[in-house]
Amino acid sequence: MNLKSQLESSLTSDQLRILRLIADEASQTGLPLYIVGGSVRDLILGAAIKDLDLTVEGDAIALARVLAKRHGGRVTPHSKFGTAKWFLPKELRTETSETLDLISARSETYKHPAALPTVKPGSMDDDIRRRDFTINALAVRLDGANFGELRDDLGGMDDLKRGIVRALHARSFIDDPTRMYRAVRYAERYGFKIAEETLALIPAARPLIEKLSAQRIRRELDLILEEWNAAAVLARLADLNLLRPIHPELTFDPSMQERLANLHTYRGLQHLSPRNVTEGERMRNSDLGWLLWLMSLSQEQVSALNDRLHFTADLLASLFAVSNLYVVQTSFVGLKPSQCVERLESYPIAAVEAAGYAANDPRVKECFDEYISKWRYIKPHTTGNDLKTLGVEPGPQYAVVLCRLRNAWLDGEVKTDEEEKSLLRDLLA
Ligand code: CTP
């Protein structure tokens, strides 16, 4: 089977140009070159291809160096893994990519269950067999006359057509327990079934989940929370009893499911206040996902989960904050805007955003959303310098007066510059 026309229609002309150029170089050096893994799966499914996983049967670092010599750019090699990152020269950069990874075909062995694999240079056959699922073990050849030729050694095409996620061998989940999470993620993403024989491998591998490092398991959960249907993935993981083995406090109840259900349609702070959101405030979907998922947990539960998952410092601070906001949210009902602002200013913005997104009471939602999009930016026109000019003795009184003026704006007591000036005169009288 040849996928030349799929390649030509799915890839941008820029991507194709780079592929051809690498393929030409590979043919000249006599190195078989393939796209492998997720990009082939998505090519056949007609889904968007995020990055091209290029694998060379031979020395990828040497090939990258030749390419950089001929076309420019620079290469960062990782000799331990036989991979090279080619920082593309300006003329070859595309809108979405400034670098390209070239990987040497390899074999992987696992010294212990759940350990990271030991990597050795290998044949393309090894490289295909080291993978997780048949649908991720397809390859398309790119060099020479073989451009577009599908290599389907393990029945991946058939499984793709039938919608089946199937592990390659019986030890797959023991070698790498993260694959159980990957299986569910793919199954829910594409609406596929997990093969019965693959589901049957879970019980033997479940006890090994506790051996996975915090970083590895959190990465899998981050990836899940980035999925368009994260709620369905987590619900399935809970059904398969794959959450509690991570930590007994990690569950997925119907209220969690409801909070996460429409995450993919949420466009974030940007939607609330297009002009006023700084880059640093823009949350990753996975972080918002964590906050929505875990906000109903107590501070102690968050802390216990952090011992297992090692959240980033920012996310942990927001998790504690949102857990608190979740408990006290109804106490915001009926408060004046200035009172809401005073309380909310001590919370990380991500926590307020998540709490506002999830609030069931429209009055709470409005309070949190208004705080994010408007209230926090409201300032009086009067400045400290103005007070100085008016002869006010510098000191703590400045903050008191400016805060009083700000509150007056927030609560609608003043609406114009004139009204602010008049209030200021009263305050200083
Ligand atoms: N892989 C594997 N076992 C893992 C992780 C990855 O066998 N634990 C292999 C799979 O063949 C996978 C490829 O490495 O296709 C690339 O992995 P990754 O980039 O994580 O996944 P993608 O297939 O690109 O899928 P996604 O769309 O989720 O990024």
Q: Please state, in angstroms and as integers, the Cα–Cα distance from residue 295 to each residue in 291, 316, 342, following that order.
A: 6, 11, 22
113-117, 137-141, 314-318, 416-420: least confident range = 113-117
CB within 8 A of 39, min separation 6: which ones? 49, 50, 51, 52, 53
**For position 331, what pLDDT does the model report?**
96
Q: What is the DSSP letter of 371?
A: H
> CA-CA distance, 40 to 37, in Å (whole number)?
6
Terminal-to-terminal C-alpha distance of the chain: 88
Q: Please state whether beta strands 106-109 and 118-121 pair in parallel, antiparallel, or not at all (unpaired).
A: antiparallel
Q: What is the pLDDT of residues 166-176, one digit of tens each?
A: 999 999 999 99
pLDDT at 2 over 70: yes
* Residue closest by Cα to atom 26 of ligand 1: 38
Q: pLDDT by residue (tens digit) across 201-236?
A: 999 999 999 999 999 999 999 999 999 899 999 999
Residues 350 and 291 sit within 8 Å (Cβ to Cβ): yes
Q: Report pLDDT for 269.
A: 54
The pLDDT-based confidence of 277 (bands split at 50, 70, 90) is: low
Q: Retrieve residue 263's tokens.
A: 């995450």
Expressed in angstroms and rounded, the spacing between residue 223 Cα and the centre of ligand 1 is: 11
Among residues 158, 243, 222, 232, which one has the least CA distance to residue 188?
232
pLDDT at 279: 55
- Residue 96 confidence class, pLDDT cut points 50, 70, 90: confident
- Ligand 1 pocket residue status of 179, Cβ below 6 Å: yes
pLDDT score, position 181: 98
CA of 182 to the centre of ligand 1 (A): 8
- Residues 342-355 have pLDDT tens digits of 999 999 999 999 99
pTM (2 decimals)? 0.91
pLDDT of residue 80: 87
Nearest CA to ligand 1 atom 25: 38
The residue-averaged pLDDT of 375-394 equals 91
Residues near 295 by beta carbon (within 8 Å), at least 6 away in sequence: 259, 319, 322, 323, 325, 326, 354, 355, 358
Q: How far apart are the C-alpha atoms of 122 and 144, rounded to whole Å?
A: 21
d(CA 314, CA 210): 25
In 3D, which of 138, 136, 130 has the Cα closest to residue 1? Answer: 138
More confident residue, 259 or 393: 259
Phi then psi for residue 338, to 5 deg, are -65, -35
Q: What is the SS3 assignment for 83-114? A: EEEEECCHHHCCCCCCEEEEEECEEEECCCCC
55: Cβ below 6 Å to ligand 1?
no
Q: Is there a contact between 42 and 85 (Cβ–Cβ < 8 Å)? A: no
Provide the pLDDT for residue 274: 44
Average pLDDT across the chain, whole number: 92
| Range in 120-129, 304-313, 385-394 with the lowest mean pLDDT | 385-394
Q: What type of residue is 364?
A: V
| Sequence letter at residue 224 | I
Query: Which domains are delineated in the chain?
Result: 1-162 (3.30.460.10), 163-246 (1.10.110.30), 266-377 (no CATH), 384-428 (no CATH)
Q: Pocket of ligand 1, candidates 136, 215, 217: which has the most ligand atoms within 8 Å of its Cβ, to mutate?
A: 136
Q: What is the pLDDT of residue 280?
A: 60
Over range 252-275, report the average pLDDT: 75
Residue 37 Cβ inside 6 Å of ligand 1? The answer reads yes
Is residue 276 predicted with pLDDT exceeding 60? no
